[in-house]
């Protein structure tokens, strides 16, 4: 909840969009949960003022959510008369929609507000948010606000790494293009379009959108965040760090920014290692050590602000491995595996990197195989599964070179090729494994 409150506050303060009334409503709910009812009522008053200022001609329908929230807060305060007053307002407005519900209205503005709230409340709500925006667009297909919400949530549901490993255009690309066309001044959507263009290899067009967004005064902190991501992925890590530092000056408690800072530190470590043939010495070694400690600091800070930030926990574990602090790395990985909030793709990534840790640092091929298989069995077609399949295949072939009759390795190769859809190769390896198993049973049967 502290992370949600901080992100809502950041959006209201630094993002120039038209749904700040919705963010005041969401903040009022957070305040209510914290028992800060006076603050909750103040946020609702501010939501009402914004609606009157921005949508005077539609204030009743735009105020439905706010009035419902007033009723909710007053009811929990034991002030039932005030709660009833707002319920009456909701009921009277709902009557104008000619539907059978006393306190519910089927209107795209309410769907849109629900979409923005769900979008802010974490990835597990993204599909519901997407459905809300889609429903609103069915009524008003050219509405800029509805279009922006639908494009943003679809972008977040895309896995950019999957796009790089599959053919075809991601759905979010055209949606982002449409959102920019409907509202060219929405720089937030513009920078997301730039990142999606980068995902599909259209770097020059993407950079053009980034440069345009950077010339605007609107939503600068958010532009810096995504410009940093764009330039880091382009290989310009120092430039990315400068944008992140500017954004951190305004929002020093952002879990997202600290996580991105840690990723940039890791990228610089990789750059130095590549230029020194993986053997940094002297000044380079000192720089790597400093960057490792800095990355650990940023990943830990991100997790303090957002304890459910499981991908940051995996990144922290990887950095502890870099620091040769294997005990801390182990603790971090176990934190991911025990997390109730970890998504499938994050768990798959955790098992992959833990498998790498077991194979190369702990020198345990058995444990490495076990975690590679766990990653592979997570039913998600993804970049990380392809990466896991490659590592598992290399390890199985390595074991076969040591022992051509290794039953487990033959079975693993059959499993890998089956998941890849290469059924001919899979059958060949499974048949070899079955033949070996049958021979082994015959040999045992002939024993004394």
What integer pLDDT is reported at residue 99 of this predicted model? 73
Nearest to 151 by CA among 136, 132, 173, 168: 173
CATH number of residue 23's parent domain: 1.25.40.10
Structural contact between residues 146 and 140, judged by C-beta atoms closer than 8 angstroms: yes
Burial of 77 (0-12, 13-18, 19+ CB in 10 A): middle
The boundaries of the domain holding residue 62 are 1-106
What integer pLDDT is reported at residue 396 of this predicted model? 96
> Would you say residue 347 lies in a domain?
no
Count of other CB atoms within 10 angstroms of residue 327:
8
> Would you say residue 25 lies in a domain?
yes
Structural contact between residues 321 and 329, judged by C-beta atoms closer than 8 angstroms: yes
What are residue 421's phi and psi, to 5 degrees? 85, 10
Tokens 């293009």 sit on residue:
177
> Would you say residue 419 lies in a domain?
no
> Would you say residue 195 lies in a domain?
no
CATH number of residue 323's parent domain: 1.25.40
DSSP assignments along 30-77, one per residue: HHHHTT-HHHHHHHHHHHHHHHHHH-GGGHHHHTHHHHHHHHHHHHHT
- Average pLDDT across each block of 10 residues of the chain; the chain has 448 residues. List them in order: 90 83 95 96 96 88 95 97 97 86 89 95 94 97 96 89 56 95 96 96 97 94 97 97 97 96 98 96 97 98 96 98 98 97 92 98 97 88 87 96 94 92 93 87 49
Q: Which DSSP symbol is given to 97?
A: T
Reduce the DSSP state of residue 447 to 3 states and report it.
coil
Nearest to 346 by CA among 359, 332, 360: 332
Tokens at residue 121, please?
């409340």
Among residues 290, 323, 340, the one where a domain terminates is: 340
> Would you say residue 334 lies in a domain?
yes
* 79-128 pLDDT per residue, tens: 999 999 999 999 999 988 877 888 988 899 999 999 999 999 988 999 99
Among residues 49, 76, 106, the one where a domain terminates is: 106
Count of other CB atoms within 10 angstroms of residue 423:
10
Number of structural domains found in the chain: 2
What integer pLDDT is reported at residue 381 of this predicted model? 64
> Would you say residue 29 lies in a domain?
yes
Q: How far, in Å, CA of 7 to CA of 4, rounded?
A: 5
> Would you say residue 428 lies in a domain?
no
What integer pLDDT is reported at residue 257 of this predicted model? 97
Q: How far, in Å, CA of 237 to CA of 396, rounded?
A: 36
Model pTM score: 0.90
Cβ-based neighbours of 232, under 8 Å, separated by 6 or more: 240, 260, 263, 264, 267
> Would you say residue 244 lies in a domain?
no
Among residues 306, 324, 340, the one where a domain terminates is: 340
């Amino acid at each position: 909840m502290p992370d949600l409150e901080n992100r809502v506050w950041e959006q209201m303060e630094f993002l120039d969009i038209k749904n700040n009334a919705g963010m005041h409503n969401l903040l009022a709910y957070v305040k209510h949960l914290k028992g800060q009812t006076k603050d909750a009522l103040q946020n609702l008053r501010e939501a009402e003022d914004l609606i009157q200022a921005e949508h005077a001609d539609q204030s009743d329908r735009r105020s439905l959510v706010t009035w419902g929230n007033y009723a909710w807060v007053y009811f929990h305060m034991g002030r039932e008369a005030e709660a009833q007053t707002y319920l009456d307002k909701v009921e009277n407005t709902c009557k104008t929609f000619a539907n059978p519900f006393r306190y519910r209205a089927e209107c795209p503005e309410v769907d849109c507000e629900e979409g923005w709230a769900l979008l802010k409340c974490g990835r597990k709500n993204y599909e519901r948010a997407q459905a809300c925006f889609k429903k609103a667009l069915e009524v008003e297909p050219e509405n800029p606000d509805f279009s922006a919400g639908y494009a943003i949530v679809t972008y977040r549901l895309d896995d950019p790494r999957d796009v790089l490993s599959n053919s075809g255009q991601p759905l979010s690309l055209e949606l982002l293009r449409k959102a920019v066309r409907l509202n060219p001044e929405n720089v937030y959507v513009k920078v997301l379009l730039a990142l999606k263009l980068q995902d599909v290899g259209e770097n020059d067009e993407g950079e053009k959108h980034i440069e345009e967004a950077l010339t605007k005064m609107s939503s600068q902190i958010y532009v810096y965040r995504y410009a940093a991501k764009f330039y880091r992925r382009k290989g310009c890590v120092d430039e990315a760090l400068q944008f992140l530092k500017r954004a951190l000056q305004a929002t020093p408690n952002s879990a997202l920014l600290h996580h991105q800072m840690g990723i940039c530190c890791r990228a610089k470590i990789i750059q130095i290692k590549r230029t020194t043939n993986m053997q940094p010495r002297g000044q380079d070694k000192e720089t790597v050590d400093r960057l490792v400690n800095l990355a650990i600091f940023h990943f830990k800070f991100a997790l303090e602000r957002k304890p459910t930030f499981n991908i940051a926990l995996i990144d922290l574990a990887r950095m502890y491995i870099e620091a040769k602090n294997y005990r801390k790395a182990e603790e971090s990985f176990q934190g991911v595996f025990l997390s109730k909030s970890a998504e499938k793709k994050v768990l798959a990534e955790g098992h992959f990197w833990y498998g790498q840790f077991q194979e190369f640092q702990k020198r345990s091929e058995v444990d490495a195989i076990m975690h590679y298989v766990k990653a592979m069995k997570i039913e998600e077609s993804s970049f990380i599964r392809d990466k896991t399949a490659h590592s598992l295949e290399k390890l199985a072939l390595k074991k076969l070179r040591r022992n051509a009759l290794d039953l487990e390795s033959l079975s693993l190769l059959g499993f890998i090729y089956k998941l890849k859809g290469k059924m001919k190769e899979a059958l060949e390896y499974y048949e070899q494994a079955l033949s070996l198993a049958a021979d082994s049973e015959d040999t045992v049967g002939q024993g004394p």
